A and B are shown apart, each in its own frame.
Chain A
Amino acid sequence: MIQASTRRWWPLFLGPVVVAFVIGFVWPFIQGIYLSFCQFKLIADAKPIGFGNYIRAFKDASFTHAFWYTTLYTVVSLILINVLAFAVAYALTQNIKGSNLFRTVFFMPNLIGGIVLGHIWSMIFDGILSKFGTSIVMDSKYGFWGLIILMCWQQIGYMMIIYIAGLQAVPEDMLEAARIDGATKAQTLFRVTIPNVMPSITICTFLSLTNGFKLFDQNLALTAGQPILTQPGGTAIKTTEMLALNIFTTYNNSSANAHGTAQAKAVIFFVLVAGLGLAQLAFTRKKEVQQ
């Protein structure tokens, strides 16, 4: 009954979003897939060339380097961020003095955008490294660990919030029962608490995973891919460049195939990130059914 009368109003309710969604997502997405098979400078004079762009993308040493660099970064940051965030969340749920203040402070960096964060930390790292006559853009090791420290600083507070929500949902009587049965603090943590916050752990793991792969702003602002390494073959590789930045750099390259190759890389990147994202949805949904 209610449906029939509502149905007529679709131009008002759905119209604006559908129009914007087509402009902002559907059309660019379809066009993006088509253009990844084309050679083009301007979209108007794109001409199809088959899989040439994909072959070029896979042969591009800077792209494969960016892929492995991104993977390494993602694994290291995922472990560090989640372990530290869980530890902080666990400490903050122990009924200690000042936990509200601590929570406020730890979450604060999330409000500051990636570009600004990158510049703040590049100043700090350069301030430290200049004492040793070097700088963050001089060595890829500095760039890597610098980015890890920056992202830990930003993301621990975020993941902490999710872990706190999970920890607070652990039934009090279960902890009580463990205590009465004589379980030690460590036993309670590993046998009761952690199994109960598994959903939070899943969410945070996947969030760190997709965030890591998609990272762009912080990467651009902190090192912008520096330092550059010139390989024996003559190709230059930006050693701290991650996938998203690599696509951006490729697009701004002046060669005739640059736009097409960048778009092909973007499609590969999309398949990668979407694969991780869909795995997350499937995984969390399965968890939800079990509960």
Chain B
Amino acid sequence: MNGSLTKERRNKMILSVILGIVCVIYVLPVLAVLINSFKLNTFVKTDTFALPTGEMWAGIDNFVKGMTFGNYPFWNSVKYSVVITVLSTALILVGTSMAAWYIARVNSIFCKALYFLCVFSMVVPFQMVMFTLSNTADRLKLNTPWTIPVVYLGFGAGLAIFMFVGFVKSIPLEIEEAAAIDGCGPVRTFFTVVVPMLKPTMISVGILEIMWVWNDYLLPYLVLDLEKYRTITIHIQYLKGSYGTVDLGATMALILLAIIPVIIFYLACQKHIIKGVAAGAVKG
């Protein structure tokens, strides 16, 4: 008995060590970005895995160069990425939670049809609508960071409504009926009674939308007026995709700046993110 216990403990130690090594391998790509962002361009390709020492050291030159790289100020793309992500997520959360509550509580053919369409939209790949959607968005002047959230609400409504409806249906109707008897109108019932109960789902949906919108490439690329507005993702793709010589060191500096906030966000809300992803995956 005692012998098998120590054997099991030893096996677990070995497992820990193996996983630890895999973990180190896992973070190597991010470390590679870190060391190459301080390396002179000519050495990034030849000495990718060497530390930026001696003649390879570029200091913060890469970051300075990166700021105005590709004739587009990097901070502008950061600004637009933040604006688009925050506005889109807020709009999706408010819009779809209201619609989902209505769909779950009002039993009409229109609501059923709308719900069916939402579920249907979840299986439609973006390529199916990308040309016509960018055309429609252009004509309706939805091609700025301040108006593109409408497009995100339209194309992203499916999953959010699906998740919200699923949750609302699990809330007992009696709570809302009690509020109605106490003289609450539907609007007040929704905002003061339903919304607090929706909070966990709101966080899950919010996380999923933030991850989607922040990293999205094709939708903003096709919809936005690219001369004026670029997101971080579009900007980085522009640098690498453009012909001619690309300063790899400076590109890595920008990539580092792009992933640092993401990693901080992840470490800060890790629990919610993992829960949100699990919820979205199980339902979607």
Contacts and interface: CB of A to CB of B under 8 A. Distances in A.
A2 B237 contact: no
A278 interface: yes
Contacts of B111: 14
Interface string B148-177: 001111111110010000000000010011
A113 B237 CA distance: 11
Interface string A1-21: 111011101101110111011
B48 A24 contact: no
A167 B185 CA distance: 44
Interface residues of B, number: 102
Contacts of A259: 131
B29 A121 contact: yes
A29 B220 CA distance: 18
A5 B282 contact: no
Interface stretch (B51-59, B60-68, B135-143, B197-205): B135-143
B109 interface: no
A162 interface: yes
A266 B124 contact: no
A162 to B, nearest CB: 5
A114 to B, nearest CB: 7
Given A6-B102, A20-B150, A25 B44 contact: no
A147 interface: no
B259 A116 contact: yes
B270 A104 contact: yes
Interface string B213-242: 011111000000000000001001100110
Contacts, number: 281
Nearest to A207: B281
B48 A127 contact: yes
A54 to B, nearest CB: 14
Contacts of B135: 28, 43
Interface string B89-114: 00000011011011101111001001
Contacts of A213: 125
B125 A244 contact: yes
Q: Is the interface of A mostly helix, strand, loop or mixed?
A: helix
Nearest to B160: A17
B214 A113 contact: yes
B250 interface: no
Nearest to B241: A224
Contact of A24 (B119, B154, B187, B259): B154
Most chain B beta-carbon neighbours within 10 Å: one of A7, A113, A162, A251: A113
Contacts of B255: 116, 119-120
Contacts of A220: 217, 237
A3 B26 contact: no
Interface in B8-34: 12-13, 15-16, 19-20, 22-23, 26-27, 29-30, 32-33
Given A43-B132, A126-B48, A13 B101 contact: yes
A21 B129 CA distance: 12
B209 to A, nearest CB: 14
Nearest to A213: B125
A55 interface: no
A111 B263 contact: yes
B128 A267 contact: yes
Interface in A8-60: 9-10, 12-14, 16-18, 20-29, 31-32, 35, 43
B284 to A, nearest CB: 8
Contact of B102 (A14, A24, A26): A14
B73 interface: no
B127 A114 contact: no
Nearest to A29: B129
B186 A5 contact: yes
Nearest to A244: B127
A112 to B, nearest CB: 6
Contacts of A102: 19-20, 22-23
17 contacts: A1-B180, A2-B180, A14-B114, A17-B96, A18-B114, A21-B117, A23-B142, A26-B117, A97-B12, A102-B20, A105-B26, A105-B27, A124-B29, A126-B45, A248-B127, A269-B125, A274-B125
Given A2-B177, A106-B23, A203-B281, 8 more contacts: A1-B180, A5-B180, A5-B186, A21-B121, A25-B124, A25-B154, A32-B129, A123-B33
Interface of A: 1-3, 5-7, 9-10, 12-14, 16-18, 20-29, 31-32, 35, 43, 88, 91-92, 94-98, 101-116, 119-124, 126-128, 130, 153, 158, 161-162, 165, 203, 207, 210, 213-214, 216-217, 220-221, 224, 244, 247-248, 251, 259, 262-263, 266-267, 269-270, 273-274, 276-278, 281
